[in-house]
């Protein structure tokens, strides 16, 4: 039986995959007594098939054992250094010939939209910042500040395909290519992929070198 791992799983936890997420909200919901707090109860409940695992610090996966790895709209929430650590950890988990597939926002698409609407529009820059999730519209206070501590909505580093391909190469991956929704030869990815998350996004597929 193949071992397929997904990190940054969020609420997507197909039972045929081993699903990890490092959200503080997940830990809050899984901690006795703390899970009774309004903050925990108001958050969307994580499926039981999703367990805590931090790809930056290291997943509880033996080296060279995973057949497939996947993440969706996760890498952009990491700093540059942490993203590089995540790629190295993904490479460590995969067996020779294993395949890594991911999707995330494409900074080139967002920039094109900005340039196409900029002109004299006073809203163009505002929409650019909202679409990149790189700024704060207001300083969080009170309960909003507490909620922010348990959220990872902000984008910390944005990517286009050439930049990501270079990072994948540096991490040791080969057979790197742009990817579109549902175009993988490995049908197991169908269990974790969602078409809306691939719209106007940056997708890629890469592989561990074969022994």
So what's the pLDDT on residue 35?
Answer: 82
Question: pTM of the predicted model, to two decimals?
Answer: 0.92
DSSP 8-state secondary structure symbol assigned to residue 37: S
Q: Is residue 124 part of a domain?
A: no
So what's the pLDDT on residue 113?
Answer: 94
Per residue in 143-162, pLDDT (tens digit) is 566 565 556 788 999 999 99
Q: Is residue 147 part of a domain?
A: no
Q: Is residue 203 part of a domain?
A: yes
CB 167 within 8 A of CB 145: no
Number of structural domains the chain divides into: 1
Half-sphere exposure of 4 (CA within 13 A, CB side): 20
Per residue in 26-51, pLDDT (tens digit) is 998 998 887 877 877 777 899 999 99
CB 58 within 8 A of CB 90: no
What CA–CA distance (Å, rounded) separates 158 from 162?
12
Q: Is residue 9 part of a domain?
A: yes
Q: Is residue 186 part of a domain?
A: yes
Q: Is residue 135 part of a domain?
A: no
Q: Which of 20, 186, 209, 11 is nearest to 101 (CA)?
A: 186
So what's the pLDDT on residue 93?
Answer: 98
DSSP 8-state secondary structure symbol assigned to residue 47: P
Q: Is residue 118 part of a domain?
A: no
Whole domain around residue 100: which residue ranges?
A: 4-106+156-207
Question: The dihedral of CA 211, 58, 207, 185: what is its sign?
Answer: positive
Question: The dihedral of CA 139, 197, 99, 188: what is its sign?
Answer: positive
- Domain with residue 15: its CATH number is 3.40.50.150
Per residue in 96-140, pLDDT (tens digit) is 999 999 999 999 999 999 999 888 889 999 999 999 999 888 887
Q: Is residue 132 part of a domain?
A: no
So what's the pLDDT on residue 9?
Answer: 98
**What are 159's two structure tokens?**
């990517």
So what's the pLDDT on residue 72?
Answer: 98
DSSP 8-state secondary structure symbol assigned to residue 185: S
- 54 CB-contact burial (10 Å; exposed 0-12 / middle 13-18 / buried 19+): middle
What CA–CA distance (Å, rounded) separates 70 from 135?
27
Per residue in 70-97, pLDDT (tens digit) is 999 999 999 999 999 999 999 999 999 9
So what's the pLDDT on residue 120?
Answer: 81
**DSSP per-residue string spanning 116-131:** HH-TT-TTHHHHHHHH
């Amino acid at each position: 039986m193949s071992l397929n791992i997904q990190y940054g799983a969020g609420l997507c936890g197909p039972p045929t995959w081993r699903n990890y997420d490092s959200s503080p909200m997940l830990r809050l919901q899984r901690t006795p007594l703390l899970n009774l707090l309004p903050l925990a109860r108001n958050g969307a409940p994580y499926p039981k098939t999703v367990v805590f695992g931090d790809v930056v610090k290291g997943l509880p996966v033996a080296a060279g054992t995973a057949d497939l790895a996947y993440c969706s709209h996760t890498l952009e929430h990491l700093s540059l250094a942490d993203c590089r650590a995540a790629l190295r950890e993904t490479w460590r988990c995969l067996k020779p010939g294993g395949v890594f597939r991911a999707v995330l926002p494409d900074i080139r698409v967002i920039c094109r939209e900005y340039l196409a609407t900029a002109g004299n529009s006073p809203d163009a820059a505002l929409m650019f910042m909202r679409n990149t999730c790189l700024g704060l519209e207001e300083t969080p206070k009170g309960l909003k500040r507490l909620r922010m501590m348990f959220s990872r909505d902000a984008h910390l580093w944005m990517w286009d395909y050439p930049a990501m391909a270079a990072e994948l190469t540096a991490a040791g991956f080969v057979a790197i290519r742009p990817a579109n929704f549902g175009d993988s030869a490995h049908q197991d990815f169908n269990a974790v992929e969602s078409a809306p998350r691939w719209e106007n996004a940056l997708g890629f597929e890469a592989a561990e070198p074969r022994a």
